[in-house]
Amino acid sequence: MAAFRWIVSTLAAVLPLLLAHIAVPSAAQDTSLQQCYWPLNSTQSETLASIAAALDYFPYDMSFITTCVNVGLTCSDNGYVTQINWQYKAIQGELPSEIFQLMHLEYLSLRDNYLRGSIPSEIGSLVNLTFLDLSNNSFSGPFPTFFSKLTKLSYLYMRQNNFSGSIPDAIGNMVSLNDIDLTDNSFSGSLPASMGQLTNLNNIVMSRNQISGSLPPSFSKMASLSNVYLDDNLLSGSLEALAALSSLSDISLRGNRFRGSIPAAFAANVFTSFDVSVNDLSGPLPSGLRFSEPPGGPQFNASFNRLSGVIPPDFPVNSFFVLDLSHNELSGRAFFSGQNEYPRPYTINFSHNNFSGALDPSVSTLTYLHDLDLSANHLTGSIPAFISSLTALTLLDLSSNEFTGAVPPAVSSPTGLLSMNLAHNLLQGSLPRALSRLASLTLLNVSSNQLSGDLTPALSALQSLELVDMSANALNSSIPPFFGRMPNMTHLDMSINLLTGSVPPSILTLRRLSHLNASHNRLSGPLPYAAASPALIIDLSFNMFSGSLDKHLFNLNRLALLALHHNQLSGRIPEYLCQSVLQIILLSNNALSAALPQCLPFLSSLQLIDVSNNLLYMDATTFQNMPPIRLDIRSNYLYGSISPSPNITLSSSSSSSSSSASPPLPSLLLPAAPQAQSFPPWVVLPAAIIQEQGALPQGQGGSGTAGGGGGAGITVAWLAVEGNCVGSEGAGQQRGAAECAAVCGIEAGQGPCGGAGAGECVLSRTWPPSLSCSCSSGYVAVTANGTANTTTCQLPPPSPAPPSSGLSAGVVAGIVVGAVLLVAAVAALLFLLLRPVQRRLLDLDQCVAYRIDDIRRATNNFSEDCLLGEGGFGSVYKGTSPDGTLWAIKRAKFMTNDFEKEVRAVATLRHQHLVRLLGYCMDYNAATGHQEQILVYEFVPHGDLSHYLDNSSYVDKHALADSDANSDAYTTNKPREPLSFADLVRIAQGAAEGLAYLHHSLTPPIVHRDVKPANILIDKGRTAKLGDFGLLKTDNLENATMLAGTPGYMDPDYGDSSIVTTKSDVFSFGVVLLEMMSGKKVVLEESGVAFSYRHISIWANELVMAGKIAQVVREDLNAPPDAIIMFVDLAMDCLKRPGALRPEIRDVARRLAAILAIAEGNAPAGDANGVKQKPWTGTDGSDEVKAADEAAEPFKEEKV
């Protein structure tokens, strides 16, 4: 009862106070909530309704708005809007000018919407505005000069838009500015000197634009300036304008072109972050630099410059959260001084310098160090035992130095170590047993040393290992089976050792295994069973494996590269390989026999197949319509005829296929024929068989002799004496005998039938007259001693054979009559084909409808002289119009019902970086029974990008051949003038602009699907035009499930979803960027290792992850380091997975424009007014001899 009375009395005392507090707000109470409930001024309501109506999309209904509640507004007590917060509302449209009628507005935030267009000049009327945020929209146009009227504006944020042009001098009138953020736009020009008037400015953030010139001296007047972020621009000159600003605490100038030294005056500042990386700074590190303790610790990054000298004794090495001095020219001993005042993990990167001598004992003081990278220096001696003091290490990289001796047990002291890289040293002996304590170790790279011994004690317990590279050592045991008990293993490289035995089957069953390389060893026995392996790449080449390719040996639903070349495999190549997703098959230099599966070259995923130097036989006509892949079938047994193709290597020009152990002539090689006259005119005979066996069995040949004696003779029209040789149909013109002979590798006086003492080689005397010495008919006529006929191949046919072995008069008469009838039939057919036929023409205003006669005249009746190339669409010819205009004419290989759709879609496209469609032709072809479908494009005079790359000395000559053509580069061998770095960037930027037009200016967008160098054409001025866009490429993206693109350029995500998007094109473009920068092709051959291949993105990613960007770049490429970094960084961004992480192509184009500005502004080497470019340094490339991918997942996001 007492408690009840206490509650009542308490309520009686408190309740009046609560009611009074609700009725009369205290002065200290926040009034913002009250202001939302004030009634709106009627004029303000009408203005807000007009604003909503003018937008394409607005989330609120403003028709009857009477208060500021729940619509992102704040109002004054008299009903005027003072604040608008409409960020993240998905608002669409242009910014309505009505918004600037809200004269009392003080705060306006429209960030993260879909607003576009320029900023209306009426914004200058908002004289009370103190805060303006327009970030993350699509605004465009110049920096609004009328911002200068906003004299009260303190905070201006315009990042991530499309603003361009220079920053006007009028910005100096915005005297109240405290923060300005213009990041991620396209502003250019220099920073105005008037900015020195902004004495209240605290933060300048203008990263990732195209601002150039030097920092104006007036910057020294901005006494309040504490943070400067100008990363990734084109700024140059010295840093002296900032040296006088003692208030500076954060500097970020990464990715510019600043020169000179780091000012010694910076010793007066106290920094929390200092980043001048990727510039052209030189000189020593200044003494006396001081750093404070921000959250997370101070950071210092001066990587990728030309700093030299030694590290100053007072430089606080041990005081940073991140210290990066990599890629400079620092020398002396790498010592580590300074008191570690902040017990926390931190990073030190001294890689790619000239530090020398033994590892300094001061490293033992780095007790909290997490990451230590000293790679690519000149450190010598043994790895010291005092490294055991670094107990907090998670990454240790001592690669590419000159360390000797054994790997000490001390490296196992940091038990939390995740990554250890000791590659490319002179280490010897076996790995210490103490390594077994590193239970968390995921990456171990000890490649390119002199290690030997048993691996079991050191590694068998390391269950966390994901990547192991022990290649290029002296390991001489077997591959340890314990690797098969490591569930996280993705990459295992044991190549270039002395290993024996076989591959333990348990390794190939690891569920995460992606790459296995055991090439260049002494492994033997049958191939390991890998049907359950998830591996993408298996390389067992250059071993002694024997046996056959048994069915179900490999997981064909996943395996992309199978390298078994240079072994002792035998038997047939099984048909089941045709059911795989293989992209590269390397089976050369084995003893494989029987027929090559006819389906194999037509495997949809295939890029390259090499079966050379085996005992295979095959009908060459199988490859007549083969897709554009690289096929190497040298030194096998072929028969049949085939037109020349740049994608097929038929015969060797350097060595004969003769062998003392040649097998008997297969019966399938020479099909039985009842009469010699019906024997196929193109037959391949291995030279050794002719030399050793002489005459052929009766019933399989006609009269004549072969070898050194007499005998039954051979009824053939073409004799292969080297490797393989097949007929060449459709040459289209008479050619000299020497040229024809070169097709087959026959040279005058050479081969088993030619030269002194070789004996007679009498070929058939039964050739029909139509074949007499006509190179265009597809054979090479040889004389009695085996030498080729001379000059223009106009000699008469060989003399008739003796009557006893020749044709009867009746047979000859029958042949003559038949020939006459045949000529008459051909003449009648030609009349029908060439007769003009009027066809219905499409009613299109955008391009011309040409008749077939126009096309025939333009191409000289589709003469091979006019043939530029062949691709997936069909053949491409160079044509000349009646007025002399050059055309590129694409003649479809197959008829499509969507041809009219193609024309209507492409004819409307107009962009300076797209190849323009000029016209089309539809005509019925009586010879084939199909409708001719032809597109007429503008002729781009300087070929395509692939030919500029292919004709350069640095190009991987084993790369895949490209398809479509648009220039006479396809008919000449004239070398191209090498492309400069500026040329490459200009071409890439133009292609990106054309692709951006397809992606962002059309509804629905067009996905190109086949971005590659062969489809980037070079116009005058070395600008780019994008070609081969169109057919079936405007479909809804959700339904875009047809095979998309060229293998090697195709988006890996396509393999998971079978759907292409605009981000698929971005991936392909990233591959092209890597090709341009590296001089390598999509599938590249490892240096020094024949026929060992991997994808360029895997190779590049490994180098980037290892901090070896210099090795991604061609050695002969003269370019500013900052531009190189930006270019490679952009390429790797385009290759990210999943596709959602990749940038839009319009952003790619914008970043390329910034890089181009650097490239074009860079003075040539040796110019007195220019800047000497820092050479790229790194390893000599000898480590690139391994076949499989190493080191990292192909598309990790982390980059240098």
Residue 1163 contacts residue 1169 (beta carbons within 8 Å): yes
Q: Which tokens hold the place of 1038?
A: 């959700």
**What angle do the packed helices 1121-1134 and 1145-1161 form, to 10 degrees?**
170
| CA–CA separation, 43 and 129 (whole Å) | 19
Give, to the nearest 10 degrees, the angle between helix 1121-1134 and helix 1062-1078. 140
Structure tokens that stand for 133 in this block: 């945020």
- Give the other-Cβ count within 10 Å of 574's Cβ: 16
Residue 938's CB is within 10 A of a number of other CB atoms, namely 19
Q: Tokens representing 564?
A: 């078994």
- Is the distance from CB of 991 to CB of 999 less than 8 angstroms? no
What whole-number distance in Å separates Cα of residue 24 and Cα of residue 920? Answer: 82
CA distance 434 to 412: 6
DSSP 1190: -
Q: Alpha-carbon distance 171 to 153, whole Å?
A: 11
Q: Which of 275, 371, 632, 1010 is catalytic?
A: 1010
The number of residues in the chain equals: 1200
Partners of 554 in the beta sheet? 530
Which one-letter amino acid corresponds to residue 4? F
Residues 6+ away with beta carbon under 8 Å from 1176: 1110, 1113, 1115, 1121, 1124
**Separation in Å, CA 881 to CA 835, 862, 903:** 20, 14, 20
Give the three-state DSSP class for 538. strand
How many H helices and E strands in the chain? 17, 60
Integer angstrom CA distances of residue 14 from 7, 8, 17: 11, 10, 5
For 426-457, give the DSSP string.
EEEEPPPGGGGG-TT--EEE--SSEE-S--HH
Q: Are 1092 and 563 in contact (CB under 8 A)?
A: yes
Do strands 1083-1085 and 402-406 pair parallel, antiparallel, or not at all (unpaired)?
unpaired
Residue 180's beta-bridge partner residues? 156, 204
Residue-wise burial string across 588-598, b where 16 or more C-beta atoms lie within 10 A, e elsewhere:
bbbebbbbbbe
Spatial contact of 460 and 436, defined as CB atoms under 8 Å apart: yes
The residue with tokens 């040293």 is: 425
**CA angle in degrees (0–180, nearest 5) for 46-49-53:** 140
61 is catalytic: no
In contact, 643 and 620? CB cutoff 8 Å: no
First vs last C-alpha separation in the chain: 76
673 SS3 class:
coil
DSSP assignment of 893-942 equals SS--TTHHHHHHHHHT---TTBPPEEEEEEEEETTTTEEEEEEEEEPPTT
Burial 492-511 (b: 16+ CB within 10 A, else e): bbbbbbebbebbbeebbebe
Can you tell me the distance from the alpha carbon of 270 to that of 293, in angstroms, rounded to the nearest whole number?
10
* Active site (catalytic) residues: 1010
